[in-house]
Amino acid sequence: MKLYALLDRLFPLSFTAKVFTLAFVGIHVPLIVMVGYVLVTSGMLATRVEDLLVLLLATLAGTVGTLAALRAVLSPLFQIDETLRTFESQGSAPLLPSRYRDEIGRLMMRSNRLVLAMGQRLQQTQEEADTDPLTGLLNRRALGDSYALACDVKSARGTGLLLIDLDHFKSINDEYGHDAGDIVLRHVGAALRQATRQKDSVLRYGGEEFVVVLPDVAEQDALQAAWRICESLRLKVALPDGRMLKVSASVGGAHWTQAQGPVDFALKQADESLYDAKRSGRNTVVLRRLLSFGSGESGLGAAQPA
């Protein structure tokens, strides 16, 4: 490392220059010194100056060629550096060639294994950060991405957002305990997965509130989806001691067909619809039509029987 440290002081930005310096000093300098020594001791220096110049030019040409060849031979190292820098900035990178069997090839394979292992850990960490551990659904952190993906779907039918709140859930916790509440939430999570499409995003928003993002959905289909969810959450949940709990939920939603607006506004409209559903007696659905991201029209589905 001492030699490398010395060369790094001379060429801090170029590994190629470091390797070339060693090759030049080790081969060309002794050759030039030997030729010069022979010419001086033989008394022929004055008559063979032209030959010495030719030798120096040939050495210079060889130096340029060697430098280019070193650059080419060291290109795998530069490729490894580029791959690791790409992974560092983007969290993923294309794999390096794995056909080489020398030291550089082994370094490439180790770099590939490192990129794959770290990529899997990053993905696992992201999934854990975006997943509710109790229900296995997405959590509040994932709402922004889920909403953006839904709005990015090219569809003239529109996009929907449903906000679901379990009715009288606080009384379940108070009367039966939080363990019973957790059992109910797990059942609700499973029921929501079964009642929604594969392309829908289902999230536990917090406590007893859940969000379903509906991409590529017409207004009437969003209303039907809301009722399907409401009906699927009319559950009877068995506790470990044999007692049965009746569960129901109220669903408020918003649907729009125009370009994407702020998720906070869509969520606020769904929350107002949910408030209307609660005020209508709970265990029902209210869907609000957003004419634009600045106004809404409510009442769709509110009068349907629970």
CATH number of the domain enclosing 197:
3.30.70.270
Asked if residues 167 and 188 have their Cβ atoms less than 8 Å apart, the reply is no
Mark whether 117 and 227 lie in a shared domain.
no
pLDDT value at residue 306: 41
Mark whether 76 and 142 lie in a shared domain.
no
Q: In this predicted model, which residue has the larger pLDDT, 236 or 119? A: 236
Q: Give the span between the Cα atoms of 196 and 249, in whole angstroms.
A: 15
The one-letter amino acid code at 306 reads A
| 223 found inside a domain | yes
pLDDT value at residue 211: 98
pLDDT value at residue 304: 47
Mark whether 181 and 290 lie in a shared domain.
yes
| 11 found inside a domain | yes
pLDDT for 78-125, tens place per residue? 888 889 888 888 888 888 888 878 877 888 888 998 888 888 887 777
Asked if residues 216 and 199 have their Cβ atoms less than 8 Å apart, the reply is yes
Mark whether 163 and 262 lie in a shared domain.
yes
pLDDT value at residue 75: 83
pLDDT for 3-38, tens place per residue? 767 777 887 877 777 777 777 776 667 767 776 666
Domain end residue (candidates: 95, 121, 147) = 121
pLDDT for 112-136, tens place per residue? 988 888 888 877 776 667 899 999 9
pLDDT for 154-207, tens place per residue? 777 899 999 999 999 999 999 999 999 999 999 999 999 999 999 999 999 999
pLDDT value at residue 296: 54
User: How many structural domains are present in the chain?
Assistant: 2
The model's confidence at residue 249, banded by pLDDT at 50, 70 and 90, is very high
Q: What is the mean predicted confidence (pLDDT) over 234-250?
A: 95
Asked if residues 224 and 196 have their Cβ atoms less than 8 Å apart, the reply is no
Q: In this predicted model, which residue has the larger pLDDT, 153 or 50? A: 153
240 CB-side CA count, 13 A: 7
pLDDT value at residue 292: 65
144 CB-side CA count, 13 A: 2
Write the DSSP assignment of 37-76 as a string of letters: HHHHHTT-TTTSHHHHHHHHHHHHHHHHHHHHHHHHHTHH
The number of residues in the chain equals 306
Mark whether 198 and 262 lie in a shared domain.
yes
pLDDT for 255-296, tens place per residue? 998 766 789 999 999 999 999 999 999 999 999 988 766 655
pLDDT value at residue 230: 97
- Going by C-alpha positions, the residue among 59, 105, 252, 226 that lies closest to residue 165 is 252
- Give the percent of the chain with pLDDT over 90: 45
| 114 found inside a domain | yes
pLDDT value at residue 52: 67
Mark whether 83 and 32 lie in a shared domain.
yes
Mark whether 56 and 168 lie in a shared domain.
no
Mark whether 161 and 46 lie in a shared domain.
no
Name the catalytic one among 208, 231, 272, 297: 208
pLDDT for 203-230, tens place per residue? 999 999 999 999 999 999 999 999 999 9
Rounded to whole angstroms, what are the CA distances from 164 to 58, 112, 173, 276, 284?
82, 45, 18, 12, 10
Angle (deg, nearest 10), helices 15-23 and 2-10: 110
- Going by C-alpha positions, the residue among 286, 299, 190, 304 that lies closest to residue 247 is 190
Q: Is 128 assigned a catalytic role? A: no
Strand duo 244-247 + 295-300: pairing:
unpaired
Determine the structural domain holding residue 149 and report its residue range.
138-300
pLDDT value at residue 200: 96
